[in-house]
């Protein structure tokens, strides 16, 4: 049991930082939940630009110091949507149009290798409701790490 506790403590390192100005808000989150298995730390950096009404983000996968090997690791970044939101992949296969009950739409743009819209579920008042999720897919090299960038912008 002592060994299990030592391994479990590796997963407890989570950090969150926030900084704000008149131009926008930065929020950084990081965790090392994948460190024991994959040798990677995950950092999600969000920036809400108050002037352009745009949310920009980056998911970074950072290898351990001295990581070796040429393993390729697949990643999938999931965005679970409310049931009222419809998602459609654009012709460029890099953007997803999101539309809710209002007339306003949003583009989710990204630099992932592949983007898909897949079925998902949402729980509302204890009931399971069918919905969609946007999934950004790609690969990184374990010894180099990698990143995927994405942003939400209003449809003009």
Number of helices (H), then strands (E), in the chain: 2, 11
Whole-model pTM: value is 0.83
Query: Is residue 122 scored above 70 in pLDDT?
Result: yes
Q: With 50 as the cut, is the pLDDT of residue 124 above it?
A: yes
Contacts of 81 (CB under 8 A, 6+ apart): 87, 98, 120, 122, 131, 132, 133, 134
For residue 8, pLDDT over 60 is answered with: no
Model pLDDT, residue 149: 97
pLDDT of residue 100: 93
| C-alpha span between 36 and 31 (Å, rounded) | 12
pLDDT exceeds 60 at position 54: yes
Nearest to 46 by CA among 80, 87, 18: 18
């Amino acid at each position: 049991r002592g060994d299990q506790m030592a391994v479990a403590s590796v997963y407890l390192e989570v950090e969150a930082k926030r900084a704000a100005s008149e131009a926008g808000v930065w929020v950084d989150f990081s965790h090392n939940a994948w460190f024991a298995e994959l040798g990677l730390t995950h950092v999600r950096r969000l920036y809400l630009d108050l002037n352009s009404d745009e949310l920009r983000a980056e998911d970074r996968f950072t290898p351990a110091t001295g990581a070796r090997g040429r393993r390729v690791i697949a990643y999938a970044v999931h965005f679970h949507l409310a049931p009222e939101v419809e998602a459609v992949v654009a012709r460029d296969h890099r953007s997803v149009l999101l539309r809710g009950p209002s007339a306003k739409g949003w583009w989710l743009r990204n630099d992932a290798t592949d983007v898909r819209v897949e079925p998902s579920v949402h729980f509302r008042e204890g009931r399971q409701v069918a919905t969609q999720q946007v999934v950004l897919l790609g690969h990184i090299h374990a010894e180099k790490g990698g990143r995927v960038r994405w942003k939400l912008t209003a449809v003009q």
